[in-house]
Structure 1
Amino acid sequence: MRRSNSGCSALLIVAVVIVGFVVLLRFNAPQTMPTVIAPPNPATSTPEENAISRLLREGFGEDSTPLPTVAIPEVMPTIPPLSIEQDMTPIVVGAGDVQDSSVAVALVVTPTPPPPTATPSDDEELSATQVDATRDPNSWQPPALIPPISKNPLGYDHYWFVRPLDANANNWVLEVYPYGTDGPSQENPLRQHHGIDMSNRIGERVRAAAAGVVIWSADGRQDEVDYFQNSPSYGNVILIEHYNQYRGQKLFTLYGHLSAAFVQVGDIVEQGQVIGLVGNTGQVTGPHLHFEVRLGENRYGSTVNPVLWMVPYVGHGVIAGRVLDASGNYPSSLQDIPVTIRRVQDGRTEATTTSYIYLNSGSDINDDPNWEENFVVADVPTGLYDVIAIINGQRVVERLEVLEGMTNWVVLQPEERPTEVPTESP
């Protein structure tokens, strides 16, 4: 009897397990839901509506914590204008009212030394003259171009040398005493200038214009005067013979009036290397650098205009030309006459110079072997200019466009006036 009850209990337990398993499978089986595709309702949806916008429209997230917001002001704030203390009322002027805006700054010039063939005696004492510069040496100056440059289509240009001073020093050429002239005063002329001057304070660094070998170097002492080529006016001098030659001719650069020299004879220098310091040694009225370029020989009578060899500034060019009479000659009567560079845009005078003075001696200056010029203007901003001179009573004007980094050529020559034939009286 006991065996029969225990068999029934086992069968009952198995049946309960099977039923529970079937029920468990039933609840965990995947249920297929019918797919309903409904056309969009034009009143509640647009073709551009996506899933996120639909969720927002149905109120998704309304029970969540709201994000912090910043109230949008009804009136936008205004920025107060800066207070201007100066009167900024514009001044309108015409071309005829524009005056030369040259800045009068007292600078110094170098009296060019006498020929090296004789030492000046006491009664031939060289005099230094103080003049007014037409350009402020403390004004901003653009960077110089990188040599070598020869943009002339015929290959006439030879801008091989860097400017001999630091970019933040004064590299402007003294306009009132350029190469080949005798200074601004007709009544008290200076000596014929064989180089160019750049006024600077004592101690400005002087750099080699190109690579070469030092063939002369002063000791830099202030208490003695070095006689360079029989002249005391140069003061302390460095002279470099350069490696590059021009058409088989040697090239030299000279740096005068130095307060110190950092190189010795025989030293090899690189382009841009610091070789000395600006000073006021020799016969000067103030500190500046006297810079020369010599072609062919190292002598006083072999100089050429350094402006045609030293790279111009960025955005600037050089004007060179000839002043001639109606027959195409350059007589002594045309030497030392003023040449004016005037901007076409506003009539402003950009620069002035004078034509070369020739001594007809072994100590004379020289025109360039390519250009054969008799006047040069350094560092003229690019643009359109009128070049003006009075030649034998005639006003000659030539229009010229100045291009960057090259010599811009102009010839000033009056028209030949017809000879008047006297008429016979009846």
Structure 2
Amino acid sequence: MKTSNLSAVLSAFLFATGATQAIAQEPTRMPTLSPVPDSTGWGTHVLAVAEASDGSVWVGTYGQGIYLSRDGAGRDWENLRSRDSAGISWDFVNAFAFAPGVIWYGTIGNGWGVSRDGGRTWRNWTFDELGPRWLYVAPGGMAATDDTVFVATADGLRITGDGGETWRDVTEADGLSSRYLLGLAVGESVRVRHLAGVDESVDGGRTWRRASQAGAGERPPPPPEPATGSALVREIRQWQGRFRDYAAPAGAVVEPGDRAHFRFRRPIGPDGNAYVDQTYTYGSTMGGNFQQHQGVEFNNPEGTPVRAIGDGIVVFAGQAEAGSNTVAIRHGRHESPPGCPAAGFVWSTYYHNADLTVATGDTVRAGDVIAHVGSTGRATNDHLHLEIHVTPTDSSALVVDSEVRFPPYTVNPILWIEPLPGTGAIAGRVFDAAGRPVPGTRVYGVAKPEPAETPFSFAETYEDRAHSDPVFGEHFVIGDVPAGDYVLGVEVEGRRLFRAVRVAPGRVTEVVLQQLR
């Protein structure tokens, strides 16, 4: 978190006005014992579970790789990780498929792999081989028959009939309604879920027809979980729905507040994926795997229209950091609520575009198309990277500079763009016993059904490259949270703290978790 005299003044203001909520300090209260190993102690986030023909059970997790029970009963577990020699490519595993003597797995963000020796060694397809496409496998997006393997991704469907030596790619050019795939089912036909509905092929993916149509901005529902499987598989599937259910601590529930500045619309319309990638939100490092993030990401197929989030003037349109096709818009001055010491000029920037449709000096209105999604610059997949800046002076050099990787005045976009329907946001602060912010710690307790392809697991408190909002002074934000009650948990100085919060649509719930002396 950014530290400065302004931060100190802002913190004093927040406490003086009663904007902070009651401090939480509760004894450890954890969820029901996990049926799979739990290296964090906060509940294992299971993304996929499957049973092989030999009875072994394979569990894909968020950040903990694969857990394998060879006896199928969970008496002994092996943990397969990307750090292992000849191991898997990435520890975020969300799909499995089995063929005789063969195990396939897929990941969120680094491709997929196959093992022909029971998981002891792997042949992987990653960024090094695939480039910035095909890396995001859809949830459960793998299937295998005796001679064919299907991999559904955010860039289309890949099919191999020779064990991965060659691949056939299926996108809109081959008849799919959308290449951004959300799921896969293979039986008598091949069915793929995508942003526009469900497509079906009865000839192995060569021709396609629309099986069902989704409404604008809606996603087709996933199929129900199968009721079959071993006792262990059924237990793990039940666990998937409650792995973040912590017992409610003593004390009042923190209610939603009245302060909010959801001033802007979303940059992706109903013709695309308007969900924020929950694995890599503002200030996040994805659990220590990446640099501190300066914005939020909207994963979408190349060519998806990018829209201005608000009225303003284009102050930059061209190549910025690392050659990214970039647009920056000045939205004018933001006046903070009465008594708040901070105000400033507000800007939005849009990175990694395939092309730009505006020029410097253009006036734009909210919703105008300003670019199209791409992967230019420092990008590992097609997506829009959105930043919002609040600067003390009216200078675009503070917002876009090709030599600056960490702009000095970014703020969390989730507190500025409108929440998804039926959702709100949580803005929190975490302090140690001396009243100092605790950077880089994880905040647990929220689970969301969507976006399943880039799921939320935990928030991270800001470190030195992320900046608190001038109104909220927060250390972390969880956005697009479905309305309801949650119990947040965090570890501070070796002690676990919990706080019950309530989320309401279109509102921000402010909470403080602090270790007492």
TM class by shorter-chain length?
A: 0.5 to 0.7
TM-score (norm 2): 0.48
Secondary structure of the residue that 2:414 maps to in structure 1?
Answer: helix
Give me the CA root mean square deviation: 3.5
Letter in 2 for 1:269: V
Cα-to-partner distance string for 1:5-38 (whole Å, 9 max, x where unaligned)? xxxxxxxxxxxxxxxxxxxxxxxxxxxxxxxxxx
Q: 1:95 to 1:142 in 2, by over 3 A?
A: farther
Does residue 318 of structure 2 align to residue 181 of structure 1? no
Query: Which residue is equivalent to 1:385?
Result: 486
1:217 corresponding residue in structure 2? 317
Q: Is the 8 A contact 2:283 2:293 kept in 1?
A: yes
Structure-1 separation of matches of 2:446 and 2:377: 36
User: Contact 2:283–2:292 (CA<8 Å) still a contact in 1?
Assistant: yes
**TM-score, with length taken from structure 1:** 0.57
> Alpha carbons of 1:384 and 1:180: their partners in 2 closer, same or farther (altered >3 Å)?
same
Instruction: Sort the Cα spacing of 1:162 and 1:108 in 2 relative to 1 into closer, same or farther, 3 A.
Output: farther
Q: Does 1:236 align with 2:325?
A: yes
Letter of the 1:329 partner, please give it. R
Which amino acid in 1 is paired with 2:375?
N
Counterpart of 2:460 in structure 1 is 354
Letter of the 2:417 partner, please give it: M
Q: Relative to structure 2, which stretch is displaced further, 249-258 or 364-373?
A: 364-373
Q: Distance in 2 between matches of 1:206 and 1:160?
A: 18
Match of 1:208 in 2: 308
- The residue that corresponds to 1:269 in the other structure is 364
Residues 333 and 344 of structure 2 are in contact (CA less than 8 Å); yes or no, is this contact kept in structure 1?
A: no
The answer to whether 1:413 aligns with 2:517 is: no
CA contact (8 A) 2:279 2:456 kept: no
Is contact 1:292-1:306 (8 Å) kept? yes
- What displacement does 1:244 show? 5.2
Residues 206-233 of structure 1 deviation map (CA, whole Å, 9 limit, x = unaligned): 0000011111112xxxxxxx3x2xx316
Provide the residue aligned with 2:432 in structure 1: 325
Q: Is the 8 A contact 1:170 1:198 kept in 2?
A: yes
Identity %: 29
> CA contact under 8 A between 1:343 and 1:386: conserved in structure 2?
no
Are 1:191 and 2:286 matched, yes or no? no
What residue in structure 2 maps to residue 165 of structure 1? Answer: 268
Alignment counterpart, residue 289 of structure 1, candidates 381, 384, 393: 384
**Contact conserved, 1:396 with 1:412, CA < 8 A, in 2?**
yes
1:174 partner SS: coil
**Could you tell me which residue of structure 2 aligns to residue 278 of structure 1?**
373
Q: How does 1:20-419 map to 2 (within 5 A)?
A: 100=45, 102=47, 104=94, 106=107, 154=258, 156-184=259-287, 186=288, 189-218=289-318, 226=319, 228=320, 231-232=321-322, 235-243=324-332, 245-247=334-336, 249-296=344-391, 297=393, 298=396, 299=398, 300-330=407-437, 334-342=438-446, 351-358=457-464, 364-416=465-517
For residues 335 and 383 of structure 2, the distance between their equivalents in structure 1, rounded to whole angstroms, comes to 28
- Whole-angstrom distance in 1 between the partners of 2:45 and 2:347: 37
Between the aligned partners of 2:107 and 2:304, the Cα distance in structure 1 is 18
Q: Which has the higher strand share?
A: 2
**Are the counterparts in 1 of residues 429 and 474 from structure 2 also a CA contact under 8 Å?**
yes
Q: SS state of the match for residue 408, structure 2?
A: helix
Q: Could you tell me whether the CA contact under 8 Å between 2:325 and 2:355 is conserved in 1?
A: yes
What do the CA deviations read for 1:130-172 (whole angstroms, capped 9, x no partner)?
A: 788999985579969xxxxxx9765x31100101001242222
CA distance in 2, matches of 1:350, 1:170: 16
Q: Residues 312 and 365 of structure 2 are in contact (CA less than 8 Å); yes or no, is this contact kept in structure 1?
A: yes
Aligned to 2:232: none
CA contact (8 A) 1:197 1:290 kept: yes
How far has the Cα of 1:96 moved from its partner? Answer: 5.9
**Unaligned stretches of 5+ residues in structure 2:** 1-30, 36-43, 49-93, 95-105, 111-131, 141-153, 155-179, 183-194, 196-214, 219-254, 337-342, 399-406, 449-454
